[in-house]
Structure 1
Amino acid sequence: MERSEGGKVWLVGAGPGDPQLVTLKAKRLMEEAEVVLFDRLLSSEVLGWAAEGAEMIDVGKLPGRHKLSQEEINDLLVEKAREGKRVVRLKGGDPFVFGRGGEEGLALAAAGIPFEVVPGVTSAISVPAGAGIPVTHRGVATAFTVVTGHEEPGKDDELDWEALARVGGTLVVLMGVSRLADNVSALLRGGRSPKTPAALIEKGWSPEERLVVASLGDIVERAKEEDVESPAILVVGDVVGLSERLRPPTIAILRPDNRGDESEKVARKMGFRPVLAPSIAFLELPLPCDLPERIKRADCVVFTSATGAEIALRDPGLADLFKGSVLATIGPRTEEALVERGLSVAVVPESYSSRGLALALAPRFKKVLLLRSARGSPELVEILEVAAVEVDEVHLYDIAPSEDPKLDWLIRRGTPDIYAFTSGSTAKNLMERARELGCEEDLRDKLAGATVAAIGPPTKAELERLGVRVDCVPERFTFEGMLEEIRRRR
């Protein structure tokens, strides 16, 4: 990129946190910038858009602790622009909504530095919207007020909270966790009814978003009970009552990371808000040296998971051998993993289960090779052996606890509407991890208050063994089938 004559600064809004809510212009400027000054709480994906070699300067502020003062940030913007560089000042939300973008713009104007403002999606509107709360709604609220909630008393421009209480409409309070009790007390003194619906939205638009709803009179106590942390937005007004119908149901997906992107797309397409928190991980096992000979001896090679197919097909030699084999899979997703790699599948059972697969194989084959997990269901082998089928089994991978911090967050703080279990192992490891964290009883309470879905009968049986009630099992034992069944029942 050629450097333009003289530098310029762009004051860029990064939106509420979701990279997909950043404007196209903001993304282009990030890719072209030579210097980026960025705040805290910005997505690593958004920061990753910066060009290779761009100077990245963290100027984020924490309550009571600033890396740089505002004056130092202003001076740094001027300095970098005077070096003739393209400078992006990246801010969460919108630069001119409690973002001090105006102060930075004035400093640049005083120094004769050209600058441009690139608006961002403000959290004042988008975070409530993401939680199913429209700040205006016909017949409910025709106006809304946005204020900052962390100003200390005694300032010349101190907010008159009692006057705000009389304004009516929807009140959106940004950055108000530390002074929540004081602000709510002032609203109540000003005449706002303690029965007014109120909501706190913690870490909006992030995977760790939480919604806490109560009356205005109870919201402070509920915030303490739920240990609400900054950043969180307070919304006060009757529109809060719409969230129950407008907010997408949150679904905790506990399957491993290698299925995460796929699961997230399916869940969003079906109208859910996914919370990815894998409770298990796959540990690949070494392939036996004689596996090629065992493949050749088998009448049929059987895959019971897409993960197993992906592991086996990394070996080009095995992939070539499979082209000359009769292949069977437990269901359509495993079949798809093979077809994507140029293989054809001869057997897919009508019932996507170990039993269904065994009954489809038994009449047709005398020798089958199972390529699957070390924790695979014994039912498959038992039925085949009763039918006098010779079974050769190779374990491609084992299952272990995920040790994923997202799982710990889900156990400690998450409040999903739905828990989706795709295997008995996901259930078993979730409960074991909760026990290790000392949160088992809390988790059981949350499971009791949520919808619990199991992908099939073996998963349901394991959940019931663990003392967890199961609300639904799909007729088609697939992830998509499970979500369709959940949606049908809601």
Structure 2
Amino acid sequence: MNSLGKVVLVGAGPGDMGLMTIRGQEYLEKADCIIYDRLLNPRLLSIAPANCEKIFVGKANHLHTVPQDKINELLYEKACKYKLVVRLKGGDPYVFGRGGEEALYLIDKGVQVDVVPGVSSSIAALAAAGIPVTHRGVSKGFQVITAHSKKDALADIDYLKLTDETVTYIFLMGLSHVGEIARGLIAAGRDAETKVAVISNGTTNHQKKVVATLNDIDEAVAVARIDSPAIIVVGEVAKLEKELNFFEQRPLFGKKIFLPVIRGFDYTLGNPRKSFFENELESKLIEFGAEVITACSGAIKPIECDLKFLTELKENAFIVFTSANGVKAFFWNLFEVNNLDSRAISNVKFACIGQKTASTLKEFGFNSDIISEKQTGEDLALALNGILDSSSETYWFCQKNTSELFEKNIDSKIKLNKIVCYENKQLEYDNSEDMKEKISTCEMAIFTSGSNATFAIEQFGNNVPKKIISIGPACSKTIINLGYEVYKEAEISSYDGIMELLL
């Protein structure tokens, strides 16, 4: 029986998280070891199990790339140690990714190999820039060409074979040679006015592009300060980029936002679910085109609670939630810790702070009997005061070190059982000079809680953008007390309220 593990070559796509295939994600979720390159979204690594070994073999900060023969040897070494090794490569493993070389080496060593295709930047980056790779009446096909050879020299390209005006020519890894490529095509007979597009960081929210002609593309790239990685597209399909430019027309495209976040505990119907993003707001901002720089200030951790008392509750007892995290932690305790199910709370009524918390409760199959109009503890307390009396059983599932607004405003005649079911644990955070530089280049910051505001301002100080968006009054008060001004405050204290403000 073969004792060697399996190596899977997985294409990570060109940068947009949503372009990772389902099959690729399934392998990442089971990987014992990931050997990865530079040109992929680093968030993909968070999909892997916590004990997965992650090894970087790409080029960064002008360090030399790990030689291909050393990568081949490393893959074999890890296949001898682990059951599943994922070779994670930007784009597609077989589109100038040297995946074929790695696969042949491993097969020769007796290692089982599989490949998961990835979305190639040669197609995806064009689509994101509004350029169809083929178009009826304009381009009948396309050709992908590497413009890179050893020691950063221009590849040996036969330009006489690239003169068909009905074909789209796509050059990868050729940004530093764009002028030479243009001159080579002109010398081979291409019209100097042929359209050319150069797309940098395609499919990401910091994508840039420039469209010119073969005659002036070199100068246009220099003026636009296009950075690598970049793709060069030669062909009349580039003329369609304004009409088909959906990706760059998103309302927050080009905005760079600093967002300190708390890593949530994402639990639903009996199982934790994984997310690429630290929280829902980050996901929304990226969906609408923003580039988001996050700094994680903490993580929500559920606390085990004994819920056996639920089976002995009187009818019309109330369970109170002042956050969506409280809802998730409660049901985690119900299902996972206490081995109970919904029958244990069949006679219970629920009170929730705002629509967001109520909608989270509904995900678990329960409607809220009371929902505060405003997303504040004070408003929920006043709503309960109007209907409860001293005979009411009330159980508040909340955070350790929670805000006092709810507890302070609840009528003293109401017996309130406070049950701490989750906490915000401090995490190590990235306070490197590189992170500070990234934050300082953001045009605005969004603070979603007083604790996030305090964390960001205390840790990053003068690097925090002056334009600060606040989620609501309590958060704004903290920001002002820290000596900063609030640029704008959401009318509704929620993620949706912030998105309404931005859009």
TM-score by length of structure 1 reads 0.60
From 119, 122, 126, the counterpart of 1:121: 119
Task: Kindly indicate whether the alpha-carbon contact (under 8 Å) linking 1:300 and 1:365 is maintained by their aligned counterparts in 2.
Answer: no
Q: Does 1:281 align with 2:282?
A: no
SS in 2 for 1:210: coil
Answer whether contact 2:149 2:155 (CA < 8 A) is retained. Answer: no
Q: CA deviation at 1:398?
A: 5.5
Which residues of 2 match residues 152-171 of structure 1 at below 5 A? Answer: 157-159=155-157
Quote the sequence identity (%).
25
1:308 aligns with 2:326: yes
Inter-CA distance 394–222: structure 2 relative to 1 (3 Å threshold): farther
Q: Distance in 2 between matches of 1:32 and 1:390?
A: 48
What secondary structure, in the 3-state scheme, does the structure 2 residue paired with 1:256 have?
Answer: strand
Corresponding residue of 2:487: 469
- Cross-structure match for 2:201: 201
CA shift digits 1:405-431 (9 cap, x unpaired):
499977643788986653343344334
Structure 1 residue ranges without an equivalent (≥5): 51-55
Q: 1:38 to 1:162 in 2, by over 3 A?
A: farther
1:257 maps to which of 251, 260, 263:
263
Distance change >3 Å, CA 278–CA 388, structure 1 → 2: farther
Indicate whether 1:328 and 2:351 are aligned.
Answer: yes
Give the corresponding residue for 2:92.
94
The structural deviation recorded for 1:125 is: 1.6
What letter corresponds to residue 16 of structure 1 in structure 2?
P
**C-alpha deviations, 1:290-323, integer Å up to 9, x for none?**
x989x99998553211223444562767989977
Amino acid of the structure 2 residue aligned with 1:470 = K
Q: How does 1:281-430 map to 2 (within 5 A)?
A: 281-282=298-299, 301-311=319-329, 314=333, 327-335=350-358, 345-366=368-389, 370-373=396-399, 376-381=402-407, 383-384=409-410, 399=424, 403-405=428-430, 412-413=437-438, 421-430=447-456
Residue aligning to 2:131: 134
C-alpha contact 1:463 1:470 (8 A) present in aligned 2: no
- Which deviations, in whole Å up to 9, do the C-alpha atoms of 1:349-383 show, x marking residues without a partner? 23333343133122223566654346655554554
Aligned length: 447
- Per-residue CA deviations over 1:139-167 (Å, capped at 9, x if unaligned) read 99747664435436896943489998998
Stretch deviating more after TM superposition (311-320 or 209-218): 311-320
How many angstroms apart in 2 are the aligned matches of 1:399 and 1:78? 41
| Structure 2 unpaired stretches of 5+ | 212-216, 267-274
Work out the CA distance in 1 between the residues paired with 2:345 and 2:361. Answer: 10
Residues 141 and 170, structure 1, Cα contact 8 Å, conserved in 2? no
Partner of 1:183: 178
C-alpha distance in 1 between matches for 2:444 and 2:119: 29
Aligned to 2:247: 246
Residue of structure 2 equivalent to 1:210: 206
* 2:200 partner letter: L
- For 1:36 and 1:286, locate their aligned partners in 2 and report how far apart those are by CA, in whole Å: 31
- Paired amino acid for 1:258: G
- Give the TM-score taking structure 2 as reference length: 0.59
Distance 1:181 1:104, change over 3 A: closer
**C-alpha separation in 2, matches of 1:36 and 1:427:** 37
RMSD: 6.5
Q: Which residue of 1 aligns with 2:463?
A: 439
8 Å CA contact 1:278, 1:407 repeated in 2: no
Contact 1:276 1:406 in 2 (8 A): no
For the residue of structure 2 that corresponds to 1:328, the secondary structure is strand
2: CA distance, partners of 1:9 / 1:393: 51
